[in-house]
Amino acid sequence: MLFDNPSDPYKNWLPRDGTVQYYGKLFDQKEADRYFEKLLATIEWRNDEAVIFGRKIITSRKVAWYGDRPFEYTYSNTTKHALPWTAELLALKNRTEKDTGESYNSCLLNLYHNGTEGMAWHSDGESDLKKDGAIASLSFGAVRKFAFKHKTTQEKMEMILEHGSLMVMKGCTQRFWLHRLPPTRLIHTARINLTFRTIVE
Ligand code: MD6
Ligand code: FE
């Protein structure tokens, strides 16, 4: 285990006010490639809409929303319902639950076609998410940098999310830290990210 995967999931990557753990690659190259291709082909990818400075824009990044039940997800005045799990998503959810020791009932997926697509600074503290619940993130495809910024001290932390890897944010992380996927001109291939979450009704 330690030989195969040098990442220590007990290490906290944040200096204060939250917990970020990096489990490294859960899958070998072939298995991770297979998941990437399957997710690309079977997920109902949609262009996301956002309102920026009062204008409705369509993001080039694609998104999808899955869950145990048709949970509502409201975003920029449009309400979406979670789709039922696919076989691959259920397998990945089960693996993630086993490795992190937590359970999840929904998953938000993002598809970034190349490095010009990213995600701006945000935190995932929506009121329908379990308070201080764990959010588990699986990455497939292009290796990208991921960044954190403390909301008051402005401290920064960066990590690399590898193909087939698992990262977890938990505790009070969302209350104290923002995170983003920075855009880069250096990457010309696609990345798929899955964030498993717990919605409370
Ligand atoms: C991404 N991830 O990795 C975007 N949020 O493309 C997130 O915004 C994220 O990775 C909450 C927890 C884990 C994440
Ligand atoms: Fe997020």
Q: Is the CB of 166 under 6 A from ligand 1?
A: no
Nearest Cα neighbor of 169 from 138, 135, 141, 130 is 135
Say what percent of the chain tops pLDDT 70: 96
Residues with Cβ–ion distance below 5 A, ligand 2: 124
Token pair 């330690």 is at which residue?
A: 2
Task: Determine the topology of domain 2-197 in CATH.
Answer: Jelly Rolls (2.60.120)
Whether 4 shows a pLDDT value over 60: the answer reads no
Q: Which ligand is nearest to the CA of 133?
A: 1
- Per-residue pLDDT reduced to its tens digit, 44-81: 999 988 888 888 889 899 999 999 999 988 766 677 89
Q: Is the CB of 193 under 6 A from ligand 1?
A: yes
Q: What is the mean pLDDT of residues 154-173?
A: 98
104: how many CB neighbours lie within 10 A of its CB? 22
Q: Is the CB of 165 under 6 A from ligand 1?
A: no
Nearest CA to ligand 1 atom 6: 193
The CA 18 to ligand 2 mean position distance, Å, reads 14
pLDDT at 113: 98
pLDDT at 3: 52
Report the C-alpha gap between 141 and 37 in whole angstroms.
9
Q: What is the mean pLDDT of residues 104-110?
A: 97
pLDDT at 14: 98
pLDDT at 86: 98
Q: What is the pTM of this model?
A: 0.94
Report the C-alpha gap between 25 and 148 in whole angstroms.
21
Q: So where are the chain's domains? A: 2-197
